[in-house]
Amino acid sequence: MSTAERLPFLKGHGTENDFVIVPDPDNRLELSAAAVARLCDRRAGIGGDGVLHVVRSAAHPEARSMAADAEWFMDYRNGDGSIAEMCGNGVRVFARYLRHAGLVDAGDLAIATRAGVRRAHIAKAAPASDPRGQGGAEGGITVAMGRALLPDGPDAEVTVSVGGLSWPARNVNMGNPHAVAFVGDLADAGNLFTAPEVRPASVFPDGVNVEFVVERGPRHVAMRVHERGAGETRSCGTGACAVMVAAARRDGLDPAVLGHPVTYTVDVPGGRLTIAELPDGSVEMTGPAVIVGEGTLEPGWLRGALEDGAA
């Protein structure tokens, strides 16, 4: 794609975890880390927690092996430009974009990610609109998030520290790494734009998302999150799934033993998600996804971003 062309983009969010959406079906655009960071800059760019680069699986070298199962690949980038395996809220917004653009119908679809193929369901019925954009003209989206991996042995628990306070945290992998700490007050986590200290660091050589969790009621929790590469965000879909699984195990609830699904409500600063773990170990996340608007980037601005990234 020539930098003389105007680059179309959209802006969307899932429980206020917001993304710049860059449609590029044929993978013609080389998005450097610097270009992604500039797109996500809330003062000098569009602003977002990350970029959803929309590419046909057959056109992307990391996704060609999944093309038979999923036509579209979510090439997800963190707000600092780094590449991530998965983003749960991002998958919902990605699915909403595909429906918005007329590329898929409501119902079931498959989306390729670096963590494998994720299956989504776009509801046809719409909940009532609310002022934060949780509802709107279309229904919620459910994503099959895969199985949570719960390491045993010395890697099962780590220690998370913020401002002189420390808590044990459960190591949960949802295709990307999470450390889940149960705390007495979410305010104890302090300023999460700075990454909490996690020990031993060797457990997470590529960094980790850290969730702080409090009780709200039976099978109902609330969380804050520091996402690696982004800082504190208003929501984290994979983090909410990790929190649900950690909370269920702490509460002695294992769907494989019980023989029926276990469902938790997870409140995030940007809204509410419903997370269910099934007896086979798979996790499903249901929540809203909203397209806020769309436009085009000026060629000169884009050229500068790409050239800075290549320098």
**Is 88 known to sit in a ligand binding site?**
yes
**Count of positions (residues) in the chain:** 311
Judge contact between 146 and 284, C-beta under 8 A.
no
Q: Which fold has domain 7-140+290-310?
A: Diaminopimelate Epimerase; Chain A, domain 1 (3.10.310)
Indicate whether 309 pLDDT > 60. Answer: no
**Is 15 known to sit in a ligand binding site?**
no
Which residues belong to CATH 3.10.310.10 in the chain?
A: 7-140+290-310, 153-285
Judge contact between 170 and 208, C-beta under 8 A.
no
Which residues, including other chains, have CB under 8 Å from residue 163's CB and lie 6 or more apart?
190
In the prediction, which pLDDT does 135 show?
Answer: 42
Q: State whether residue 250 is helix, strand or coil.
A: helix
| DSSP strand pairing (7-14 vs 17-23) | antiparallel
Q: What is the pLDDT of residues 158-186, one digit of tens each?
A: 999 998 999 999 999 998 999 999 999 99
**Is 17 known to sit in a ligand binding site?**
yes
- The 8 Å CB, 24+ separation contacts for 100-107 are 100/10, 100/291, 101/23, 103/72, 106/138, 106/139
Active site residue 241: no
**Is 171 known to sit in a ligand binding site?**
no
List C-alpha distances in Å: 110 to 74, 92, 175, 262: 11, 11, 16, 24
Query: Is the model's pTM score more than 0.85?
Result: yes
**Is 173 known to sit in a ligand binding site?**
no
Active site residue 236: yes
Q: How far apart are CA 208 and CA 147, in angstroms?
A: 18
Amino acid type, 87: C
- Note the CATH architecture for domain 153-285: Roll (3.10)
Q: What is the pLDDT of residues 189-230, one digit of tens each?
A: 998 888 999 999 999 999 999 999 999 999 999 999 999 988
| Cβ atoms < 10 Å from Cβ of 311 | 7
Percent of the chain with pLDDT over 90: 81
> Can you give 89-155 as a three-state secondary structure string?
HHHHHHHHHHHHCCCCCCEEEEEEECCEEEEEEECCCCCCCCCCCCCCCCCCEEEEEEECECCCHHH
In the prediction, which pLDDT does 298 show?
Answer: 87
Q: How far apart are CA 307 and CA 285, in angstroms?
A: 39
Q: How far apart are CA 220 and CA 222, in angstroms?
A: 7
Choose the weakest-confidence range: 29-43, 114-128, 162-176.
114-128
| Cβ atoms < 10 Å from Cβ of 32 | 17
The DSSP output letter for 82 is: -
- Give residue for tokens 């050229």: 303
The active-site residue out of 7, 51, 148, 236 is: 236
The active-site residue out of 22, 39, 55, 87 is: 87
- Which is more confidently placed, 302 or 128? 302
Q: For residue 6, with 0-12 CB atoms within 10 Å meaning exposed, 13-18 middle and 19 or more buried, which class applies?
A: exposed
